[in-house]
Amino acid sequence: MKKLLSVLLVGVVSLGLFTGCATQGSDDKTIVVGASPTPHAEILKVAQEVLKEEGYTLEIKEFTDYVQPNLTLENKELDANFFQHLPYLEDFNVKNGTNLVSAGAIHYEPLGVYPGKIKSLDAVVDGSTIAVPNDTTNEARALLLLETLGLIKIDPNAGLEATPKDIIENPKNIVIKELEAAQLARSLPDVDLAVINGNYALQASLNVDKDAIAKEEKDSLAAQTYANIIAVRAGDETSTKTTALMNALKSDKVKTYIEETYQGAVVPIF
């Protein structure tokens, strides 16, 4: 009886070791990435096909805000995330004590000014209301776009941290309405104009080339500054998983998909 029990115990331990090894091996070939639904998760689904050919499984977890993807990555529940630009990430690190870095840029989403109650820039009058994202870097980016359109002037010292308090000239007394980026498209019936991030515009079936009355140009400094990146924990920039993910995202298959699907609303920069 004791001999039989010993044999059974050895078998269980061996099975456990085998299972552990199998799980570890599987984990090494599974890449978990957090992403905004549009266009990031859509682009990742194409990269998923490329990675499959290389023996990897790409698991995509969708997020609808700009905070949880970074916190979840920091907590090691993700291998990477794909939703933000570098200025936002750097600002997030400072404010939240996280240690996340860019593994590389993938695409650029032009920020657009979309019509609400009025349909053109010429229709902006004294006291018009323009909605902008309320997070630090995207708000500054929106205000700088309004500046290039001649609607306001920003204190040059404010840079990428500009807020409405840094407006030094506002000849038409424009009211800047600060809203969470995800709410901007829904605000259009209630404001005169709204400056909307590319991914949220796409989710609202808005195309920056067709629907926006003004936008950041693809050859502008903003295109490089605000390119969307793959973020990882510091030290993982060149890990095997990160390298495989970046190679897949920069493949011809993904580039063709972006160009044909979004037609200027999302621009690959590789």
Condensed to tens digits (0 to 9), the pLDDT of residues 193-225 reads 999 988 889 889 998 889 999 998 766 777 778
Indicate the number of domains in the chain: 2
Q: Is 163 within the bounds of a domain?
A: yes
Q: Would 34 be classed as within a structural domain?
A: yes
Domain co-membership, 44 together with 87: yes
Beta-sheet pairing, 80-85 with 228-233: antiparallel
The confidence score (pLDDT) of residue 169 equals: 98
* Short-list 180, 141, 133, CA closest to 160: 141
pLDDT > 90: percent of the chain? 75
29 and 86 share one domain: yes
Examine the fold and report which residue of 196, 215, 234 is the final residue of a domain before the chain moves on. 215
| Domain contains 5 | no
Nearest of 176, 144, 167, 159 to residue 87 by alpha carbon: 159
Asked whether the beta carbons of 96 and 66 are under 8 A apart, the reply is no
Q: How confident is the model at residue 216, as a pLDDT?
A: 87
Q: Domain holding 56: CATH number?
A: 3.40.190.10
Residue 102's contacts (CB-CB under 8 Å, 6 or more residues apart) are 86, 89, 229, 230, 231, 232, 237
pLDDT single digits (tens) 4-60: 444 443 443 333 333 333 323 347 999 999 999 999 999 999 999 999 999 999 999
**Out of 19-23, 103-107, 143-147, 235-239, least confident range:** 19-23
Shared domain check, 200 and 133: yes
**Domain boundaries, position 149:** 112-215
Rounded to two decimals, the pTM is 0.72
Residues 94 and 154 reside in one and the same domain = no
Residues 48, 26 share a domain: yes
Residues β-bridged to residue 33: 60, 80
Same domain, 95 and 20: yes
Within-domain flag for 135: yes
Quick check: helix, strand or coil at residue 251? coil
